[in-house]
Amino acid sequence: MTVHYNCAKCKDRLCIHKVPIFSSLDSEDLRKIMGLISHSEYKKGETIVFEQEEPDSVIIINEGSAKAYKNTADGREQILYVFSEGDFFGEQNLFTGQPSTYTVEALQPVKICKLSRKQFQELLYRFPDIAVKIIVELGNRMTRLENALQSIGVRNVDNRIGIILLEFAEKYGTKNEKGTIIHLPISREGMANYLGVARETVSRKLSQLENEGIIQSLNNKEILIPDMDRIEELAGV
């Protein structure tokens, strides 16, 4: 992990510009906040926050993506979130003082911005709008969790595969004339841990979908979806 203070590179790509919770502030205020922020970089596979650790700052992802997971009783890891550019975490611990409930690990080289507890709390007092923004963002994240819980509770694994493909298509998809290409942020094993099924089951289901012409595997990290409607059908929407 590498730490930069007032990293010059970030001056033109203000990380806080990307964060919805700061969106109500004007450029002047943003510039002031910028001075408070410290930057770090992590290599792929490095851990940003450990479960049970007490983080003392809010962390905003500026570049790259990271997975948040918990270890289950049977020794696997259950992925809770895949954070990418603009997502933040650690805010909960600042209020409750409780240790992190999950581990966050870089899936790619990751650049983050850090705001300390004290600075963050000052911001909340100075800009009350931010608190409301946070409530909204937490609400959104809860909705996502509720959906995940719903889909993982669906016994039909085919549906779940469809749901995860829809989610990733929206977050990591690009469209071209042949359809939508999903740039998967996680491996097959990661998908399995996200879905709560075995690695091999994911392989089999994806192969099956490929045979049916619903998807086309370009390489391990890219999937082409010619017709998104068929995925929605699969997901049971």
Partner DNA sequence: CGGACCATTGATAATTGTCAAAATTCGTGG
Partner DNA sequence: CCACGAATTTTGACAATTATCAATGGTCCG
What are residue 40's DSSP bridge partners?
3, 112
**Torsion sign, CA atoms 49, 50, 51, 53:** negative
Q: Does residue number 23 form part of the binding site for its own copies (CB under 8 A)? A: no
Contact 65, 163 (CB under 8 A): no
* Residues 44-83, mask of contacts with DNA (x by CB under 7 A): ------------------------------x---------
**Closest distance between its own copies and the C-beta of residue 124, in Å?**
8
Contact 90, 49 (CB under 8 A): yes
**Interacting residue with its own copies among 34, 36, 154, 224 (CB under 8 A):** 154
What are residue 61's DSSP bridge partners?
112
Q: Does residue number 119 form part of the binding site for its own copies (CB under 8 A)? A: no
Task: Between 20 and 179, name the residue whose CB sits nearer to its own copies.
Answer: 20
Q: What is the C-alpha separation between 55 and 59, in angstroms, rounded?
A: 9
Stretch that binds DNA, among 34-42, 118-126, 162-170, 196-204 (CB under 7 A): 196-204
Strands (DSSP E) along the chain, which ranges? Answer: 2-5, 38-42, 47-49, 57-63, 65-71, 77-84, 88-89, 103-106, 110-116, 173-176, 179-183, 216-219, 222-225
What are residue 59's DSSP bridge partners?
89, 114
Q: Does residue number 170 form part of the binding site for DNA (CB under 7 A)? A: no
> Token match 């045979």: residue?
211
Q: Does residue number 142 form part of the binding site for its own copies (CB under 8 A)? A: yes
Q: Does residue number 187 form part of the binding site for DNA (CB under 7 A)? A: yes
Task: Between 102 and 168, name the residue whose CB sits nearer to its own copies.
Answer: 102
Task: Between 69 and 120, name the residue whose CB sits nearer to DNA.
Answer: 69
The conformational region for residue 137 under phi > 0 = left, psi -120 to 50 = alpha, else beta, is alpha
Task: Between 38 and 92, name the residue whose CB sits nearer to its own copies.
Answer: 92
Task: Between 71 and 217, name the residue whose CB sits nearer to DNA.
Answer: 217
> Token match 């003082």: residue?
97
Q: Does residue number 101 form part of the binding site for its own copies (CB under 8 A)? A: yes
Interacting residues toward DNA by CB under 7 A? 74, 155-158, 187-189, 196-204, 206-207, 217, 219-221
Interacting residues toward its own copies by CB under 8 A? 70, 72-74, 76, 78, 80, 91-92, 95-96, 101-102, 124, 128, 131-132, 134-136, 138-143, 145-156, 159, 193, 195-198, 235-237
